[in-house]
Structure 1
Amino acid sequence: MPLPETPAALEVRRAVRDWLARYAPAGVVAVALSGGADSLALTAAAVTEAEVVDALIVDHGLQAGSDRVAAAAAETALALGCRSARVLPVRVAGAGGLEAAARRARYAALDSARDGLPVLLGHTLDDQAETVLLGLGRGSGARSIQGMAPVAAPWGRPLLGVRRAETRRLCAELGLRPHEDPHNSAPEFTRVRLRAEVLPLLEEVLGGGVAAALARTAEQLRADNAVLDGLAEELLVAATEGPALSAETLATAPAALRRRALRAWLTAGGAKGLTDKHLRAVDALVVDWRGQGGVAVGGGPPGTRLVAEREHGRLTLVTRNQ
């Protein structure tokens, strides 16, 4: 289906073209298609700009008729010019609430079906702004406030600079009817309330431009974090003594670099669900050593726990029975 030469079409096409040129020059990609406006606009632009596009449609099975919605999305993908369109039924279950469980199931299904291709996701500038606000509210630090990256292999997000209104406008110009997921208007979900209540209020109070400003903040923080992560990696290399870390070497570094290095070390060692409290407790083993015991940091095989300990001026990560 040819795209019209309208401002919305040109903006979405340009965003996809620039992303492909930088991250997927071969031009063969998969697109995660939900049937919503963002992913429909992304798919239409990708078919125009890429050599080959395969559509992957996840059916979460959370509403009656979800299979029909998925089948319709697959049909639309083929009409737009996708090489193939596959429906991926998933089972949504597990800890962390419905949103988290659905996200895990969706990404696992896409990863298993992508056949080695990068997968384009329809996240827009508005989604980025919501992500930054969530990070601010949770106090998760610069890594969370930096939002979503344009690429985090195998995932690609070409539309992070495009407003949601433009994807809807493009769908209207193409005569496409996006599926409106009822979960996207359910007030029990935090992100929905941010979208429907918090961001509009901020736009009103601050005179507009808030979503774009939040997205710029994310971009600036990603650049800063890349530099800090590189310096932290150098510190980690300097402090490494076999499987342990030299507390003396770590203690000479600024706290921001030291904690980044500790996070990388703990994550590489198998720690899971690290919090600021975990990091500060492990950091205290370095700079506030009073003979305290080890710090449990999550992870480890069933029936065990992973513990960071200090002994003879060195930090080690050991597994202890619970």
Structure 2
Amino acid sequence: MNDPFGRKIDYLRISVTDRCNERCLYCMPEGYKGWAQRPDHLTAEELIRIATSASRLGFKKFRLTGGEPLLRPDLATIAAGIAALPTTTSLGLSTNGTRLASAARDLSNAGVTSVNVSLDALDTDTYRRVTGGRLADALAGIHAALTADFESVKLNVVLMRGVNEDQLVPLVRFAAEHRTPVRFIELMPLTRTDVLSSENFLSCEDARARIESELGPLETLPDYRAGHGPARYTRAQNGALVGFIGALTTPDFCGTCNKLRLTADGKLRPCLGRHGEIDLLAPLRAGHADLDALLTEAIANKPEDHTFQTDYVPSRPMTAIGG
């Protein structure tokens, strides 16, 4: 199905939980306990039912996110149910990787085809400062993913001025060594508004300049795509694929957006950078949900672009929206 601006919408990102075992600076505010205000999230059966409806409407690409999706003990069941849908061509997982070492093989067997792992630093202290977690656990998860039968494993790095600038080059070298793409992502004002200040915001352009100052020019790959998202890719002289996701500085960033988001508490969100949501949980639990119609409504309501640089004020943090 096409949205009002002619974009084909065939990608559903599904948050299975807003819980997380880390507390990243850009994702979860101090003291956030959103899950305590409701009895549960969408069940595995409900999630698969929504994905089945999306499949009937032509959705082919799905991604399981959080929070940290591996906190759900039934994640492999959810994955297998979505992987079995007749239109599914891609089933991704976004994770911090800290619980992936013991789960990678089972998820691959369940039908997960790609894994994106957040890795904001290779320095132990910086990683702990950003996430509150243990770098060793994340690295163990990455290595497990690389030896499982996933079609692709990619690394995600959120750019934070004054926090992980000195980690960019080591991360590109790590990506080259392990033959996995690394993507650098601009901060978005989803959890805090001060991320756009000159003290905190690091643009993709500045990140690229820093990488090139040490590793030499990056070769722009205008036609290369390593997935279904908005990353613009380059190749470093050491062979690493380096992507940039510049939601704040790329003029046509939303021009090819092909996705809807489903939050863990059952809200369908047409745009990450706008507040409009459609409730699926209440009609599901009441037994009268016309999911095809609600998904169609969300596509019809999809805006042309986000409002991050104009009037966007966070209403709930990234962990409650879904990564």
TM-score by length of 2: 0.30
Rg comparison, structure with higher value: 1
Task: From the two aligned structures, give the one with the greater helix fraction.
Answer: 1
TM-score by length of 1: 0.30
Instruction: With a CA cutoff of 8 Å and minimum separation of 6, indicate the structure with the bigger relative contact order.
Output: 2
